Amino acid sequence: MSQNILQVHSIHGAKYQSVWDFQEILLQKVIHSKRASEVERTHHVIFCEHRPVYTLGKSGSIDNLKASLMELEQENFEFHKINRGGDITYHGPGQWTIYVIIDLESYYRDVHKYVRSLEQIVIDVLAEYAIDGFRLDDFTGVWTGEGELKRKICALGVHLSRWVSMHGLGFNIEPNLEHFRNIVPCGIATPDKTITSVTQETRIPVSMEAIKESFLKHFQNHFPMDLVVNTEY
């Protein structure tokens, strides 16, 4: 029986491409490990605070980028087309972009269940801050809000290769929500759906590190592993 080990990486202020390249390196390591049928299987979670960047998923529309590339450059925003699912989103300071590189076959072969599990982890984290997080039919990610107005607090988009995952979640803790103005977030343009954050909902400062610890605790409820914290990038 294989032993599952989780390495945790933290990255702050790196350019998007360098983090994407790092993901690809880890992805190939996990794929090589399973090909070699190694008894010890190492998986990875990266917690990243990006420089301001917009990413467009493979199923997204460039029409959902409301600013020109020249305007983005002038405002020091990056832009990348990437291979995850979903449409356009924003990553930046005050948001945990959480990249999950695990061999899903160590647990099950079900993409739908995997996505629902990631959503549930965030919902469980939010409950610790008295925020009612939930799913919406036809809209991937985690939402909150009462009545007709719903507020998205976590975006989600994944990619799998040989059942090894990459990409993951954009979890809004205390980002500058004005940075979402240049896009139609996740391609959702209806006025009854907006963007929010943990601090916007709680109205008090929230520790990024505390959110990370909570996420890892709930993550291991869904994907039991021996935890190894690796602070080196």
Give the tokens for residue 84: 């995850």
Strand 193-195, strand 150-161: pairing: parallel
3-state percent breakdown (helix, strand, coil) of the chain, nearest 5: 35, 35, 35
Instruction: Judge whether 186 counts as a catalytic residue.
Output: yes
Active-site position among 186, 198, 211, 216 = 186
Q: Which residues of 66-101 are buried (b: 16+ CB within 10 A; e: fewer)?
A: ebeeeebeeeebbbeebebbbbbbbbbbbbbbbbbb
**Closest to 227 (Cα-Cα) out of 9, 1, 2:** 9
CA dist 98 to 16, 73, 87, 118, 167, Å? 13, 25, 17, 10, 7
Query: Would you please indicate which residues are annotated as catalytic (active-site) residues?
Result: 186
